[in-house]
């Protein structure tokens, strides 16, 4: 919908996305827990807005802390960020990997219903389990009654099926070139962001490496290799959602914030298989509705953050946005059009494959990146935002195209 009053975002903060790939990650040593990431991200925002006294309420997005960390009742961690948040309204939201987007949507609705400053935070700490066991937990993002019929690596199996259908319909060679370029873009962008999980990646030619790694169903899944997949990650991201009065309260000019122009949340029936494996129908619906309600075209968007849990999801999202026709998204990406210097830069800090995918945090991380890009705060990974294309969009997906959050932004 289009907000009935002005709504802004400001003060984004990301922790490091921790997991394999980071030099400091050691699975055999004790690592920071859920509370550490919540506190770091929350305090990182509070320092930018004058402290907890300026916050009216908070929302935490998280997927599976109750299983990964044996911890529920996450609203109780808001006062752990700062005692100034004690006794204030707080809630938590869950929509699988789309939980961060739901946290943003909830905070936006808080402001539309009367709050002036609402803290939106997303968090996940997943490296508490080996990947094969974690796959069973992550399968809860799908229809769990189908778990036994699915692949041991449940979601790689789901998106492998999508990739296989795409190969059959449009050609494997072309598709693999596009998917490999998607991976290469993710790594190239992540190397510019010190908080990214792939920041330390030194592969001299990520495109050639991914392209040469033939998917092997005996070792992994039939139509994806491990580089086509986002990794297991620990991390948190946070940002504040403000009214005009809220911006005044925290002493921030509109030009330093991004305005929320439209926001859409859509859901697809989790118990049903996708209508067409080569189309992300819920993303297509939500993203295009958000763009239409913003009163713009996709070609007025300067940069996008999309949910590339797998490279094929990135390709299909390009097509869902209408940047390329069905079956031509792979060519669009292979031609470099989504690269940081391309005509439509996507996932400029690395996306889920490059920056990392702490599931409950991803949607908020996307918003932080858009805020940074549109206000010139992205540092080494800043891209040129043409004055004729002043908008950004985030698309966060929970499950296999089930719970979708799409938000359109513009510099305030």
Reduced to 3 states (helix: H, G, I; strand: E, B; else coil), residue 403 is strand
Quote the pLDDT of residue 354: 98
Mean predicted confidence (pLDDT) in 66-79: 98
On the question of pLDDT at 153 being above 90, the answer is no
Quote the pLDDT of residue 148: 83
Do residues 248 and 278 share a domain?
Answer: no
Tokens describing residue 3: 């907000």
Do residues 215 and 252 share a domain?
Answer: no
Do residues 293 and 380 share a domain?
Answer: yes
Quote the pLDDT of residue 304: 98
On the question of pLDDT at 150 being above 80, the answer is no
**Beta strands across the sheet bearing 391-398:** 89-93, 57-61, 117-125, 234-242, 8-14, 258-267, 403-411, 391-398, 301-305
Sign of CA dihedral 346, 351, 353, 354: positive
Reported as a single tens digit per residue, the pLDDT across 248-287 is 999 999 999 999 999 999 999 999 999 999 999 999 999 9
Reported as a single tens digit per residue, the pLDDT across 37-46 is 999 999 999 9
Quote the pLDDT of residue 132: 82
Do residues 118 and 159 share a domain?
Answer: no
Quote the pLDDT of residue 4: 93
Do residues 266 and 152 share a domain?
Answer: yes
The conformational region for residue 161 under phi > 0 = left, psi -120 to 50 = alpha, else beta, is alpha
Total-model pTM: 0.98
**CB neighbours of residue 394 within 10 Å:** 28
Domain end, chosen from 221, 256, 291, is at 256
1 belongs to a structural domain: no
As to burial, measured by CB atoms within 10 angstroms (0-12 exposed, 13-18 middle, 19+ buried), residue 125 is: buried
Quote the pLDDT of residue 337: 98
Q: Which of 128-142, 166-180, 217-231, 294-308 has the lowest mean pLDDT?
A: 128-142
Mean predicted confidence (pLDDT) in 370-381: 98
Do residues 193 and 249 share a domain?
Answer: no
**Which residues have CB under 8 Å from 291's CB, separation 6+?**
262, 297, 298, 301, 393, 408
Reported as a single tens digit per residue, the pLDDT across 209-254 is 999 999 999 999 999 999 999 999 999 999 999 999 999 999 999 9
Do residues 208 and 351 share a domain?
Answer: yes
3 belongs to a structural domain: no
On the question of pLDDT at 171 being above 90, the answer is yes
Mean predicted confidence (pLDDT) in 350-378: 98
Do residues 55 and 24 share a domain?
Answer: yes
137 belongs to a structural domain: no
Closest C-alpha among 78, 35, 37, 39 to residue 55:
78
Quote the pLDDT of residue 272: 96
194 belongs to a structural domain: yes
Tell me the C-alpha to C-alpha distance, in Å, between residue 169 and each of 51, 60, 189, 253: 54, 41, 30, 50
Q: How many domains does the chain have?
A: 2
On the question of pLDDT at 12 being above 80, the answer is yes
On the question of pLDDT at 154 being above 90, the answer is no
Do residues 344 and 354 share a domain?
Answer: yes
249 belongs to a structural domain: yes
Quote the pLDDT of residue 366: 99
198 belongs to a structural domain: yes
Q: Which residues pair with 346 in a beta bridge?
A: 304
Task: Give the residue numbers spanning the domain of 384.
Answer: 142-231+262-411
Do residues 91 and 109 share a domain?
Answer: yes
> How high is the mean pLDDT of the chain?
97
Do residues 68 and 194 share a domain?
Answer: no
Domain end, chosen from 223, 240, 256, is at 256
Gap between the Cα atoms of 207 and 221, Å rounded: 20
Closest C-alpha among 166, 195, 192 to residue 14:
195
**CB neighbours of residue 250 within 10 Å:** 19
Do residues 227 and 244 share a domain?
Answer: no
Quote the pLDDT of residue 152: 81
Question: 234-242 and 8-14: which strand pairing?
Answer: antiparallel
Gap between the Cα atoms of 149 and 98, Å rounded: 24
Mean predicted confidence (pLDDT) in 384-404: 97
136 belongs to a structural domain: no
On the question of pLDDT at 372 being above 80, the answer is yes
346 belongs to a structural domain: yes
CATH number at residue 87: 3.40.47.10
């Amino acid at each position: 919908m289009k907000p009935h009053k002005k709504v802004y975002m400001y003060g984004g903060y990301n922790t490091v996305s921790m997991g394999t790939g980071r030099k400091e990650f050691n699975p055999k040593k004790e690592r920071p827990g859920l509370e550490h990431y919540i506190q770091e991200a929350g305090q990182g925002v509070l320092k930018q807005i004058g402290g907890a006294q300026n916050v009216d309420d908070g929302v935490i997005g998280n997927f599976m802390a109750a299983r990964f960390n044996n911890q529920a009742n996450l609203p109780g961690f808001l006062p752990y960020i700062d005692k100034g948040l004690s006794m204030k309204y707080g809630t938590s939201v869950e929509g699988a990997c789309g939980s961060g987007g739901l946290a943003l949507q909830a905070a936006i609705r808080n402001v539309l219903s009367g709050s002036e400053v609402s803290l939106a935070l997303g968090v996940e700490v997943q490296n508490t389990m080996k990947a094969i066991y974690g796959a069973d937990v992550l399968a809860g993002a799908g229809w769990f009654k189908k778990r036994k019929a699915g692949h041991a690596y449940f979601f790689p199996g789901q998106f492998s099926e999508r990739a296989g259908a795409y190969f059959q319909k449009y050609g494997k060679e072309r598709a693999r070139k596009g998917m490999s370029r998607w991976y290469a873009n993710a790594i190239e962008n992540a190397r510019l962001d010190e908080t990214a999980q792939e920041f330390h990646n030194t592969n001299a030619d990520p495109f050639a490496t991914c392209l040469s790694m033939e998917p092997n169903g005996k070792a992994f899944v039939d139509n994806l290799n491990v580089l086509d997949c986002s990794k297991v990650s620990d991390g948190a991201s946070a940002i504040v959602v403000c009214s005009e009065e809220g911006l005044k309260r925290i002493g921030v000019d509109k030009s330093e914030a991004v305005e929320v122009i439209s926001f859409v949340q859509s859901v697809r029936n989790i118990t049903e298989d996708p209508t067409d494996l080569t189309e992300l129908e819920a993303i297509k619906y939500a993203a295009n509705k958000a763009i239409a309600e913003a009163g713009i075209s996709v070609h007025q968007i300067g940069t996008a953050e999309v949910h590339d849990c797998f490279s094929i999801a990135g390709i299909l999202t390009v097509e869902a946005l209408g940047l390329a026709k069905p079956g031509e998204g792979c060519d669009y990406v292979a031609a470099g059009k989504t690269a940081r210097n391309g005509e439509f830069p996507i996932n400029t800090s690395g996306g889920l494959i490059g920056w990392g995918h702490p599931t409950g945090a991803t949607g908020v991380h996307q918003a932080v990146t858009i805020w940074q890009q549109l206000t010139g705060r992205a540092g080494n990974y800043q891209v040129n935002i043409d004055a004729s294309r002043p908008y950004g969009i985030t698309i966060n997906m929970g499950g296999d195209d089930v719970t979708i959050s799409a938000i359109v932004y513009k510099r305030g």
